[in-house]
């Protein structure tokens, strides 16, 4: 879907090596979109209509002799047409749509999607609760790392964020595979430095294949 067969295979091989070395199960996931964001086309419509209205006012002030009996109708059609075009552009052009997405809403929706994915895929069933979800949300260009309870008091939030910081430039370049590769390399070094090692204990073993979803 978002990764080629070769890329998914390379990630799975790297995950197997990490688990055999540090005993931690990392679950990478790539989703197209973490929310529908139904308000974005409406915001684009409002912007387009407002700009068109402003342009018509300026044009009328500049050339008042243009005003005729049909001017009001022409203005209304023009404003609605520009607003509608802007809304359609927000639906089909993701780069344009992102301009209307507030950072706080973006971050909240990506985190909620990560939490939902963690529960629905039952990623909490790992040995010693040592599972960690690495979610890459493509539309938002946002990364969320969601560790299970086994990492509490052993890995700080700042250390998880440092991994995200290494991934973010690659994701912004439209390279989710390389972003995930960078994450796995960084996480392996971090967990090894924290003293995580493979131990025998009860718990489910998760699939090494990365999760790919179109999202909502």
Q: What percent of the chain has pLDDT over 70?
A: 94
pLDDT at position 117 is 95
pLDDT at position 1 is 85
pLDDT at position 66 is 62
What mean pLDDT value characterizes the chain? Answer: 92
Q: Which string of b and e fits 22-46 if b means at least 16 CB within 10 Å? A: bbbbbbbbbbbbbbebeebbebbbe
The tens digit of pLDDT for each residue in 35-83 reads 999 999 999 999 999 999 998 888 777 777 666 656 777 888 999 999 9
CA distances from 131 to 56, 148, 176 (A): 58, 6, 21
pLDDT at position 87 is 97
The tens digit of pLDDT for each residue in 78-125 reads 999 999 999 999 999 999 999 999 999 999 999 999 999 999 999 998
pLDDT at position 67 is 62
CB 27 within 8 A of CB 133: yes
**Does the global pTM surpass 0.75?**
yes
pLDDT at position 68 is 63
pLDDT at position 34 is 97
Binning pLDDT at 50, 70 and 90, where does residue 150 land? very high
pLDDT at 201 over 70: no
Q: Tell me if residue 120 falls in helix, strand or coil.
A: helix
The tens digit of pLDDT for each residue in 18-27 reads 998 998 999 9
Q: What is the DSSP code string of 139-182?
A: TTTEEEEEE-GGGTTTS-HHHHHHHHHHHHHHHHTT-HHHHHHH
pLDDT at position 215 is 83
pLDDT at position 24 is 92
């Amino acid at each position: 879907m978002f990764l080629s067969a070769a890329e998914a295979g390379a990630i799975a091989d790297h995950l197997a090596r990490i688990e055999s070395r540090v005993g931690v199960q990392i679950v990478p996931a790539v989703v197209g979109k973490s929310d529908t964001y139904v308000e974005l086309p409406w915001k684009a419509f409002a912007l387009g209509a407002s700009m068109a209205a402003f342009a018509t006012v300026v044009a009328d002030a500049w050339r008042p002799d243009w005003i005729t009996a049909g001017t009001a109708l022409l203005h209304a059609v023009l404003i609605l047409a520009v607003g509608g075009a802007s809304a359609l552009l927000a639906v089909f052009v993701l780069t344009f749509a992102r301009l209307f997405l507030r950072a706080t809403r973006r971050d909240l929706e990506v985190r909620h999607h990560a939490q939902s994915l963690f529960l629905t895929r039952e990623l909490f069933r790992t040995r010693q609760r040592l599972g960690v979800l690495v979610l890459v949300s493509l539309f938002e260009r946002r990364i969320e790392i969601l560790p299970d309870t086994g990492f509490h008091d052993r890995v700080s939030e700042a250390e998880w964020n440092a991994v995200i910081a290494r991934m973010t430039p690659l994701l912004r370049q439209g390279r989710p595979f390389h972003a995930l590769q960078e994450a796995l390399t960084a996480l392996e070094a971090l967990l090894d430095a924290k003293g995580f090692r493979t131990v025998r204990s009860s718990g489910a073993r998760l699939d090494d294949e990365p999760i790919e979803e179109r999202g909502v």
